[in-house]
Structure 1
Amino acid sequence: MNTDTSPPDSEGSLATGLEQRFDLLVASITDYAIYMLDPEGYVSSWNAGAQRFKGYQADEIIGQHFSRFYVDTDRAAGLPQRALATARAEGRFEGEGWRVRKDGTRFWANVVIDPIRTPDGALVGYAKITRDITDRRNAEEELRQSEQRFRLLVQGVTDYALYMLSPEGKISNWNQGAQRIKGYGQEEVIGTHFRRFFTDEDRAGGVPERALETARREGRFESEGWRVRRDGSRFYAHAVLDAIRDEGGTLIGFAKITRDITAQREAAASLEQTRNALFQAQKMEAIGQLTGGIAHDFNNLLAVLSGGVDILHAQQPGSTAARVLDSMRRAIDRGALLTQQLLSFARQQPLAAATHQINTLIGAFEPVLRRAGGPQVSFLFEMAPRLASVSVDEARFEAALLNLVVNARDAMPDGGTLALETRNVVLAAGQVGALPAGQYVRLTVRDSGTGMPPDVLARAFEPFFTTKPVGKGTGLGLSQVYGFIAQSGGDVVIDTKPGQGTAISIYLPAVEEAGPLDAGLPPLHSERVLIAEDDPLVMAVACELFETMGYEVLTAPDGVVALGMLERDDTIDVLFTDLMMPNGMTGLELARAARKRHPAMKIIIASGYPQAALRHEDGEGDFAEFAFIGKPYRLADVARHLRAI
């Protein structure tokens, strides 16, 4: 009888149960294809995940070689065999690649192959785990392509420097725009601090560090300023610095965008300069017109006074009243000088222009300039050799130069250096005021004096504007210089800063040659005179002047009436007419009509405006065919013209 009462083999039963549960676990997994290969690579087991991924039932694939899951190119390249060899030699193979389903479609798989060995090391097969990661790969590929497109976009931008900085400000990437604008290749700047692009003064002032700190604190920093290229040249930049943070809010770096706006800045500055020049020109033109009109009317008033004084003086020679009349004459002469100064600013003074060499004029006038400067002023003459000639009125030029020297002297109350410099210059259109392009001669009077603040500089050329104490200046010095130079076809530029002196530069057009202006005044003598004048006071004085000289006088209040009288009377020998008259006919038109009807008639035109300015304004021709007399005229002036004619 069998007396063995021991229990059944419990360890064997337990092992069998565990293997069954493990087989059930593997068979139930659907997210992974888990199956066995024999040592030659033939499939020996198949789970639900393998069936779902690859589309094969277990009875269709067990006993088949696993290489059938590979694409043709991989099979031809021997990739399945290399995978088994790697797993066998290294204990593991892992890779990714395209695999083929039963229906011929492809999926991207992550594959792990592990060798299975007995306790004594004999190879009995392989465990193969495959996962379909097509969706992940597609997402990664889309991200890769998106990043590639972004890199191409960033690299393709050449008008902006786009690059990244570390949290410490070191450069981590570099685009083509950055290379074009700043001149550095990528290999030269990666890993270096972006402060290298700032000017020395900005680095010394901590500007780069403040930019990083502001962007770190506020999320953004925007600025404009000078930056330095690789070759040391500077450009004006508009820069934006944005902080970049991860999802947790940790700062991971900065995005830096820089644009070269030098051209735009220069264009804006040029436009502003042009606007300021236009405003200044319009202001000076308006003041000039007003000043010229006032001077003209003032001349009419002085003409009445001057004529009256001459008449009274002729009637009472040697009397006590003559001394009073002499005083009145001196006052009238001073008034006439003032009107000439006003007309000088208004560019309406008569000029006797001739071709001159400015160096020669300055050399001849040097003793006067030195005396005007006084003993405390040290003169420095820097005359350019082979200086071009200019067309200028010598006397007016000397007066203008003297004005500049006196102003410079007054700006150096404790003495200093006064330099006179001449140069040949070539100007582009609009480079100096509204002067056209061409060759010019520049005369600069530079002092080491007090300089002018901006508000004084803005009004420096205005008549009667002065910073000198009462009784020390009329305010007409610089306005005369400006008017004379402008009338001569040039311009005046002031460069000054408070405490750093003043440099006033005169620009005059260079000329090959020029001759003096010919007044061309015709001779005159007559016994009957027709006076055409619309101002009753001026008319009365003119009649007295001609009657004092023994002429028979006829009068007309305007050109239309005067022309009618000339058509009816052939015995008039002299026509004395004002230029500006009402009712549609000027004195010039009257004179031309009279000349056609009476070719032998002697004609004198009078005006408070000088002949040169009127010729410019009229634009119809030359006044030289007629005698011209400026207001206020004196008895001697009229007599001289009559004798000359």
Structure 2
Amino acid sequence: MTVGAMGEAMNPAVRGTILAVDDEPDILVALEDLLEDEFRVLTTSRPAEALELIAAEPDIDVILSDQRMPGLTGDALLAQAREISDAQAILLTGYADISAVVSALNRGGITGYVTKPWDPSLLRNAVRGAYERHRLARELATERALLRGLLDHAGDAIAFKDTDGRYLRLNARMARRLGAPSVEACLGRRESEFAVSGSEAAEAADRAAIASGAPTETVTGGAEPAQAPSGETWSQVTRVPIRDPAGAVVHLAVIERDITEQRLLEMRLRQADKMQALGTLAGGVAHDFNNLLTAILGSLELALPKVAGDARLSRLMTNATQAAQRGAALTKRLLTFSHRRDLQARVIDLNGVIQGMDDLLGRSLGGFVQVERDLSPDLWPAKVDPDQLELAILNLCINGRDAMPEGGVVALSTRNETVRGSTDPNLKDGDYAVIAIRDTGTGIAPEILGRVFEPFFTTKGVGQGTGLGLAMVFGLVQQSGGTIRIDSEVGHGTTVLLYLPRSREAVETAPAARSAPAPAPRRARILVVDDDPQVRHVTASFLNGFGYDEAEVPSGEAALERLDAERFDLVVADLAMPGMSGLDLAEAVRMRWPALPFLLVTGHAEAARIPADFAVLEKPFLSADLAARVATLLAPEG
């Protein structure tokens, strides 16, 4: 066997490969000389070796075979070659043997034959034509394989249509969307012939894309409520017009992608952003309210002893005090919702909290509501403020009671749950202890389900609810690292799920209550710093009533000037002030007068967290609270 080829530097992938088979060496040399300028030429004089070459060289494009050869004729050789190769075949014959040519056509699939002696130009053109046909056939097979692979394995529903909207090609996913039993059942038919919703709109969009000649993209599916109804789906449909060589649109590719999960995630993210914005707003409102309530409650407390002899006036002032205290409770809920209230979190037994609420739930829910419990005995502990959690559970149970005006069941249950791959951006992977509160009430309509956590949003009548209960619950679980979910169906009740991250620490015992220390007996000079004159006056009046000497300044800068000029035993400063904040002032005092005690007073925890070693008093405060903190800081061990 002789193997001839051009230089090894030539790329076989660029140059076609020709196999010449003839039992006469001189003819093989002539064929090699004729074709080697354009092709890589392999030659052999034995048919058996030719078959071995064909099996070993899958890139052979054209086989040139003599008809009369010892051992195996050309038509028989080409027939066997056809079983292992898709190469084009040309038969060389030295005599007019029509039967051999017919046999080669039938058995070997030859694309032509050339008689000996051949015309060099004719033979070269025949080889070129055969090579080009083979190249095009392979390219077509590759394109078909790629298209079939795309159709069979794509996650999208894909179809190709003619300009009249009839399906030419489509994958199984598109056939299933149309409700057809198979791909074949869809070919030649229009989308409107299938029982699918929106087919008229889809065909109109097809016609518009063909008319425009440009790719289009549309989204189909339901509207965008705050929380999608069960079973709601969305699809993104891309239409790509396909043009012929002359530029005319002759086909349309349609790619339909299910974006339901993406759309639901976007909705949840928008809801989370809205809740964060509302939390920021609520925190600012609560701060301003706490300043007002500090002035109101403080003024009422200072004025009430002066009207002790007037029963009517005392009752009016007491009523005003109680109303202001209810306002203070509302602002605490706002601060919990906005994540700006420091929680007294510790690792607790959640089942123990629920079991300890028996009397409270019995008094709050009344005799028409039955309370059921199903508590997991191996429930994981969680780190949360137990008092706030108890208040959250009570709020949810009362909501359930209000949804059952004629009585019903409120069921409390707990379980462990490991979350993996949740689509809820607020629910990260991990272990959670879950508290479920279920009622058998009227349920919540889908159009308002996404708003129930907004502060001041309520479906109850005037005077029956503040709209802060669920907002407080939302803030509590978010601040504790968890999340809250609500499943509700109108007429079939509501289930609220509280997800609290599992704690790996041991359950902590409740801290013992401490009695407030009495005011220090010694005289002391205290500097009061607050930009709000009313709050500053109330604070200073309280301190004066305790027997301290107090001085007032409206800013941190003024406080530093006063401290440079005079000696003080304590500084009481508001946290949120324009210019120099109370925290900035405290740090400056700590650097220049490290032994001088400092008390920060705040309406809410600012974005900049207060270091743990700074003394803090929350607004609104009672005089006793202020007295206790001041006495502690002025005591020798303070």
Match of 2:190 among 214, 223, 233: 214
Tell me if the contact between 2:440 and 2:493 (Cα under 8 Å) persists in the aligned partners.
yes
**Could you say which structure has the larger radius of gyration?**
1
Match of 1:446 in 2: 438
1:215-241, Cα deviation, whole Å (9 max, x unpaired) = 6989x978999xxxxxxxxxx99899x
Provide the C-alpha distance between the structure 1 equivalents of 2:472 and 2:183, rounded to a whole number of angstroms: 49
Q: Which runs of 5+ in 1 are unaligned?
A: 1-70, 86-94, 109-133, 166-172, 183-194, 226-235, 243-254
Match of 1:422 in 2: 414
1:484 matches 2:462? no
Match of 1:130 in 2: none
Provide the C-alpha distance between the structure 1 equivalents of 2:183 and 2:119, rounded to a whole number of angstroms: 64
Partner SS, residue 547 of structure 2:
coil
1:481-538, Cα deviation, whole Å (9 max, x unpaired) = 1112222222212233434433222111211226579999999734322111111112
Over 3 Å counting, the alpha-carbon distance change for 1:324 and 1:211 in structure 2 is farther
Match of 2:585 among 586, 590, 614: 590
1:220-268, Cα deviation, whole Å (9 max, x unpaired) = 978999xxxxxxxxxx99899x9xxxxxxxxxxxx99998x7xx63xx4
1:561 matches 2:558? yes
1:360 matches 2:352? yes
Match of 2:625 in 1: 637
Deviation for aligned residue 1:106: 10
Give the 5 Å matches for 1:294-373: 294-320=285-311, 321-369=313-361, 372-373=364-365
What's the Cα RMSD here?
4.9
Match of 1:533 among 530, 535, 548: 530
1:377-425, Cα deviation, whole Å (9 max, x unpaired) = 4544343342211111111101101111222233334544443332323
Provide the C-alpha distance between the structure 2 equivalents of 1:577 and 1:536, rounded to a whole number of angstroms: 12
Over 3 Å counting, the alpha-carbon distance change for 1:75 and 1:385 in structure 2 is same
Tell me if the contact between 1:440 and 1:508 (Cα under 8 Å) persists in the aligned partners.
yes
Match of 2:504 among 484, 490, 512: 512
Deviation for aligned residue 1:375: 4.9
Deviation for aligned residue 1:631: 1.7
Over 3 Å counting, the alpha-carbon distance change for 1:97 and 1:333 in structure 2 is closer
Partner SS, residue 285 of structure 2:
helix
Instruction: State the one-letter code of the partner of 1:634.
Output: L
Over 3 Å counting, the alpha-carbon distance change for 1:422 and 1:529 in structure 2 is same
Over 3 Å counting, the alpha-carbon distance change for 1:140 and 1:356 in structure 2 is same
Partner SS, residue 502 of structure 2:
strand
Deviation for aligned residue 1:456: 0.7
Match of 2:270 in 1: 279
Deviation for aligned residue 1:309: 1.6
Instruction: State the one-letter code of the partner of 2:340.
Output: Q
Over 3 Å counting, the alpha-carbon distance change for 1:608 and 1:81 in structure 2 is closer
Over 3 Å counting, the alpha-carbon distance change for 1:151 and 1:472 in structure 2 is same
Match of 1:411 among 397, 403, 409: 403
Deviation for aligned residue 1:368: 3.5
1:153 matches 2:168? no
Deviation for aligned residue 1:274: 3.7
Partner SS, residue 67 of structure 2:
helix
1:578 matches 2:568? no
Tell me if the contact between 1:441 and 1:508 (Cα under 8 Å) persists in the aligned partners.
yes
Over 3 Å counting, the alpha-carbon distance change for 1:145 and 1:560 in structure 2 is closer
1:605 matches 2:597? no
Tell me if the contact between 1:427 and 1:439 (Cα under 8 Å) persists in the aligned partners.
yes
Partner SS, residue 381 of structure 1:
strand
Tell me if the contact between 1:277 and 1:433 (Cα under 8 Å) persists in the aligned partners.
yes
Give the 5 Å matches for 1:392-411: 392-411=384-403
Deviation for aligned residue 1:341: 2.1
Match of 2:49 in 1: none
Partner SS, residue 318 of structure 1:
coil
Match of 1:122 in 2: none
Provide the C-alpha distance between the structure 1 equivalents of 2:489 and 2:134, rounded to a whole number of angstroms: 61
Match of 1:123 in 2: none
Tell me if the contact between 1:354 and 1:391 (Cα under 8 Å) persists in the aligned partners.
yes
Match of 1:100 in 2: 115
Provide the C-alpha distance between the structure 1 equivalents of 2:390 and 2:283, rounded to a whole number of angstroms: 23
Provide the C-alpha distance between the structure 1 equivalents of 2:560 and 2:380, rounded to a whole number of angstroms: 49
1:419-463, Cα deviation, whole Å (9 max, x unpaired) = 333232333477433354332222222334333233312211111
Deviation for aligned residue 1:331: 2.0
Give the 5 Å matches for 1:144-183: 149-157=139-147, 158-161=149-152
Partner SS, residue 441 of structure 2:
coil
TM-score (normalizing by structure 1): 0.62
1:73 matches 2:60? no
Q: Which runs of 5+ in 2 are unaligned?
A: 1-64, 75-92, 101-109, 161-167, 194-198, 207-217, 221-234, 242-250, 634-638
Partner SS, residue 160 of structure 1:
helix
Deviation for aligned residue 1:147: 5.7
1:494 matches 2:478? no
Provide the C-alpha distance between the structure 1 equivalents of 2:192 and 2:566, rounded to a whole number of angstroms: 98
Partner SS, residue 357 of structure 2:
helix
Provide the C-alpha distance between the structure 2 equivalents of 1:273 and 1:385, rounded to a whole number of angstroms: 35
Deviation for aligned residue 1:563: 1.8
Provide the C-alpha distance between the structure 2 equivalents of 1:407 and 1:208, rounded to a whole number of angstroms: 56
Paired residue total: 482
Provide the C-alpha distance between the structure 1 equivalents of 2:319 and 2:363, rounded to a whole number of angstroms: 31
1:304-341, Cα deviation, whole Å (9 max, x unpaired) = 22222222223333333322222222222122222222
Deviation for aligned residue 1:371: 5.3
Match of 1:552 among 549, 555, 558: 549
Tell me if the contact between 1:424 and 1:440 (Cα under 8 Å) persists in the aligned partners.
yes
Over 3 Å counting, the alpha-carbon distance change for 1:105 and 1:360 in structure 2 is same
TM-score (normalizing by structure 2): 0.63
Tell me if the contact between 2:265 and 2:424 (Cα under 8 Å) persists in the aligned partners.
no
Provide the C-alpha distance between the structure 2 equivalents of 1:512 and 1:436, rounded to a whole number of angstroms: 17
Provide the C-alpha distance between the structure 2 equivalents of 1:500 and 1:541, rounded to a whole number of angstroms: 53
Provide the C-alpha distance between the structure 1 equivalents of 2:614 and 2:111, rounded to a whole number of angstroms: 107
Over 3 Å counting, the alpha-carbon distance change for 1:213 and 1:634 in structure 2 is same
Over 3 Å counting, the alpha-carbon distance change for 1:81 and 1:562 in structure 2 is closer
1:336-388, Cα deviation, whole Å (9 max, x unpaired) = 22222222222223322111121222222245335544555454434334221
Match of 2:608 among 606, 615, 618: 618
Tell me if the contact between 1:433 and 1:491 (Cα under 8 Å) persists in the aligned partners.
no
Instruction: State the one-letter code of the partner of 1:355.
Output: V
Over 3 Å counting, the alpha-carbon distance change for 1:475 and 1:237 in structure 2 is closer
Deviation for aligned residue 1:198: 3.6
Give the 5 Å matches for 1:365-384: 365-369=357-361, 372-384=364-376
Match of 1:437 in 2: 429
Provide the C-alpha distance between the structure 2 equivalents of 1:409 and 1:288, rounded to a whole number of angstroms: 27
